[in-house]
Structure 1
């Protein structure tokens, strides 16, 4: 049966009962749910061959993109730290596992429920079907060229490769590839995560995009200013920090640089939201 699993096969309907037709191929009988269509004894039927959760041989005529030789997207439904992750590829009675052996060493970078992986299937000697994530070469063959007119556009991107040099992503709405340098993210995205990435550059050599997960400078200023306002409101409208405070004290309180802090204070003072003196900074009613 091994050579038939995780593939599209054609077999003959040899029997039936109330619920299933029984399709034979190379001496192996696969159950086909009658809800998928009307057939008769002697008909030839094509479908995807697999084993269900009870390891029973089954056939489905539904279109399944992921096989031994073709890649398709799967959605993560469960994470098992001792085994790997479970993927839904469109079968009601079966999910396939991506083994922990092919996942990142750091479990914090494993996909989470709802994340997406582009995979093909593989069958081991015990007739178990596993999902294998696509490598860089597969994505390069699949993706089209990016264009040099996308600056500052923001697009969803799926993380498909993690390297020390940065994060490699696929833009599904554009069928393009992109790269996120470590300096353009606050934290490393996990494999399979769908992120919103902003275009900051174009690589002529391979027609891919340089991307950022950080907001633009004026957006960061707005975020920093809002953070300071929220802090003041939560602390009675006053704080002992001002633009003369030490970088260490500012970093400890807000997690930003003194330069960012001063810019945010300047914006808030221009907007007449705050005032400051040698004692600190105060909200203006």
Structure 2
């Protein structure tokens, strides 16, 4: 069934007491339970649905959508762990099963884990696979230093945070270059800092070059809008600057220097004032 694990728009063939049957591309039919119908549908109408298998492993159509479709990554929370695997919360009535054989490492309830949604061809049902390396793309030649990317935080190490870049590439954000809290499952905007020899990518959250200063300056100005005052100076501690602005002291000094030279702010002993 090519619709399994995907969002499809399917026509209604007929109605029953349990709901309606939708026509599949292979000529078969699929039940959408009554609770997913408004009651105003007619035969021939189209319904946008997600197709997966119910608690009895029967294919079913629903109008709820999961956090990840077939062949997609997502960071999901572990709801329960059994002798055969774990069950993950992915936004549907039936949890996503992560078999022991597909676990990269043991998991516990409440933990968040990166999984790739696949079809288990033995059971014809959707499962999660946490051995993510099997699905990561290795050719990073299309990336450039300074390029803006989307990053999904999926693990933390002694060096920093492992991230999934643009859905299919692995990268790292170093802890000493992070100036705002990050948690597993966070989605952040990041910038390519370096492409390593192993084809993995080092990222930085702060923009590189001129854009870095412009965005930092805009952030400071936005905080000055209401009170025209910010109790920070170039003598403020790095910890206070990081807590207030989420940037390094060096970046902060560069930004206020830019604003000062443009005569947008004045810097006094007690803080920054907007002109």
- Name 2:237's counterpart in structure 1: 247
2:201 equivalent among 201, 209, 215: 209
- The higher radius of gyration belongs to 1
- Name 1:36's counterpart in structure 2: 23
CA distance in 2, matches of 1:253, 1:171: 26
Cα 1:130–1:102 shift into 2, 3 Å? farther
SS at match of 2:72: strand
CA distance in 1, matches of 2:270, 2:261: 20
Q: 1:166: Cα distance to partner?
A: 3.2
- Name 2:89's counterpart in structure 1: 86
CA distance in 2, matches of 1:198, 1:281: 29
CA distance in 2, matches of 1:241, 1:210: 31
- Name 1:190's counterpart in structure 2: 184
CA distance in 2, matches of 1:261, 1:49: 50
1:118 equivalent among 116, 119, 124: 116
CA distance in 1, matches of 2:238, 2:145: 35
Q: 1:161: Cα distance to partner?
A: 4.4
CA distance in 2, matches of 1:170, 1:137: 11
Q: Is the 8 A contact 1:168 1:178 kept in 2?
A: yes
Q: 1:118: Cα distance to partner?
A: 0.8
Summarize the alignment of residues 1-285 of structure 1 with structure 2, pairs less than 5 Å apart.
34-37=21-24, 38=27, 50=53, 52=54, 55-59=55-59, 72-73=71-72, 85-87=88-90, 94-97=94-97, 103=107, 107=110, 110=112, 117-120=115-118, 131-140=127-136, 143-147=137-141, 150-172=144-166, 175-186=168-179, 187-191=181-185, 193-204=186-197, 206-216=198-208, 218-235=210-227, 237-238=228-229, 242-243=233-234, 245-247=235-237, 251=241, 254=244, 258-277=249-268, 281-284=272-275
- Name 1:3's counterpart in structure 2: none
CA distance in 2, matches of 1:188, 1:165: 14
SS at match of 1:119: strand
CA distance in 2, matches of 1:178, 1:248: 26
Cα 1:264–1:178 shift into 2, 3 Å? closer
Q: Is the 8 A contact 1:86 1:97 kept in 2?
A: no
Q: How many residues matched? A: 217
Structure 2 residues not aligned, in runs of 5+: 5-13, 30-50, 62-69, 82-86, 100-104
Q: RMSD value over aligned CA atoms?
A: 4.8
